[in-house]
Amino acid sequence: MRQPTSREYDVRRKGRWPSLLWGILISTVVASLTFYLAILSTLTYPYFDTDMIIALIVALIYSTIAIKISKMTINIVKPSIIIKALVIFWFLSPFLVALPFSYFSHVDIANSYFEMVSGLTGTGFTILNPSAQTPFVNAIRAASQWAGEVGALFLTLILAIVYHVSPTGLVSALGKGERVRPSMYKTLIDLIIIYIVLTVIPVIYMYLSGMSLYDSLVYTFAALATGGFAPTAGGTADLTPLQQGLVMLTCVLGALNFSVYLNLRYGRVRRAFSHPELRMLVGSILFYTLLILLVWKSFTPQAIWSALFHSASAVTTSGFQIQDVSKFSESVKYILTFAMIIGASAFSTGGGIKLFRAYMIGKLILSQVRRMGKPRGYISSIKVMEKEVDPNDLITMLTVVSAYIFTLLIISMIITELMSLHRIKVPSIDILFEVASAMSGTGLSSGLTAVAPIDVRLLLAVAMIVGKLEVLPVLYAVLSPFQKH
């Protein structure tokens, strides 16, 4: 029997400590980044908010902790350790932001935690009236979405490069699911450049549309992260049609597969615009728009714009709305629920099971149909972009989608029972809609979040995190202590 090496023995002896350290490191960096971005955004406002001083102190404390942890020696780093660290991160980082946020917003810690889970996961559910909050509080909400979606991905890739761990699995754990370029360092630099450009350009065109610089920053942070937090109670309904269109354009930019931008960066224009997920993203938005218009039996300019806006909001999993979605008919809610579950592109800030997976499952179903009636042993291969798909990739996709749908139904059932215990009557479609919105990181609400007791809200927070991690990493982190090494 082979004896464990000194490095393997050290990891076994330390147990979960490497994962915990990594989880704290990522959490403190992203939490401090949230406050730094919020402070910079609020500096564009006409007056100075003294809460920014407290936030700066908190951010400096978190930064100091991150620096000290980063200097600690971690003898071995494996993808399994980082996967557990990411699970820790998604549960811990909202708490680190919620502690000071609770003081700034005058909301209890449990509801502040829900708000920050919604922010960092890019969901957009809110229990606050943004119009009653200070600009700094709204800046924290928007910055949390940008930091959660962007900062976590960047930091994970940076850590992977420093500790020589391939981030292919990490990117999948973050819900991106796309193989990046062979050079991890170049991929990181490319992504940083792309995100800077994608952040600066929307700020400029939103400002030119008549928004204040503050609103331009807040809406860009939320929209690029396909989040949904707005600085006013009316949200995007308070904007002009042009500004609404620019916000949704930014959401589409965030929901697009970032390999499209990588191709554009290196001059491969034809390859970029021929990317299948670009066509699927645009096509699905138009498809759901048509379905909603057929249900409404109305093709007025107002109806077309509302259907297009909310379809784009659901597909990009951004959650912005210009009408009260809770008052939509059940048929429209089912359409939007389906759109949210499918979600946006892989390797984007969007959520859901991803368009590419849905496309692959569709091809798999057609393949199985073609096999019916064929001689035994007949094999029908599946090709994408003239390349045959590895059967193991198909198994992975089916596993992820099955676990995702099963978890969605289980959480919906539990919330149904909890609402019954609290004697609050909510239609089943509203519960399914809300859970689908939570797990896909959308934030469109059927009205459930507003009336839900705190236990239901916390369960929705868990749904946001589990959906963000696509279920399997959470199961791995929970079950791994019981597995034999």
Question: For tokens 């005058």, what's the residue?
Answer: 106
Q: Which mean pLDDT values do the consecutive 10-residue runs of the chain (485 residues) have?
A: 48 61 90 96 91 97 93 65 86 97 97 97 94 95 90 61 48 42 66 89 97 96 92 93 97 91 87 88 96 96 97 96 95 97 88 89 82 67 65 82 96 97 95 97 94 97 93 86 66
**Directed axis angle between helix 213-224 and helix 135-146, to 10°?**
30
CA dihedral sign, ordered 404, 409, 410, 416? positive
Do residues 118 and 464 touch, judged by C-beta distance below 8 A? yes
* pLDDT of amino acid 396: 81
CA 43, 45, 48, 50 dihedral sign is negative
DSSP code for 322: S
- Name, in order, each residue with C-beta under 8 angstroms of 259's C-beta and a sequence gap of 6 or more: 178, 275, 347
Residue 194 to residue 20: CA distance in whole angstroms: 31
The two structure tokens encoding residue 139:
């800046």
Q: Which tokens belong to 333?
A: 């809610």
pLDDT at residue number 161: 56
Q: Under DSSP, is residue 387 helix (H, G, I), strand (E, B) or coil?
A: strand
The pLDDT, as a whole number, for residue 184 is 61
Q: Report yes or no: 167 and 79 within 8 Å, Cβ to Cβ.
A: no
Closest Cα partner for 443 from 151, 128, 99?
128
Residues 6+ apart with CB under 8 A from 401: 353, 357, 361
What pLDDT score does 423 carry? Answer: 95
422: left (phi over 0), alpha (psi -120 to 50) or beta: alpha
Q: Which amino acid is at 238?
A: D
In the structure encoding, which two tokens stand for residue 19, read together? 């994962």
**Cβ atoms of 385 and 276 closer than 8 Å:** yes
pLDDT score of 152: 63
Residue 217 contacts residue 44 (beta carbons within 8 Å): yes
User: For 129, left (φ over 0), alpha (ψ -120 to 50), or beta?
Assistant: beta
Give ∠ CA 409-412-414 in degrees, rounded to 5: 110
SS3 at position 116 = helix
Q: What is the CA radius of gyration of the chain?
A: 22
How far is residue 279's CA from residue 264's CA, in Å, rounded to a whole number?
16
Name, in order, each residue with C-beta under 8 angstroms of 315's C-beta and a sequence gap of 6 or more.
255, 281, 284, 285, 288, 339, 342, 343, 344
Which amino acid, one-letter code, is at 407? T
Indicate the angle between helix axes 213-224 and 241-255, nearest 10 degrees: 40
Separation CA 86–CA 302 (nearest Å): 43
| Tally of CB atoms within 10 A around 168 | 15
Write the CA distances from 359 to 122, 249, 340, 342, 468, integer angstroms: 24, 23, 15, 10, 20
Residue type, 76: I
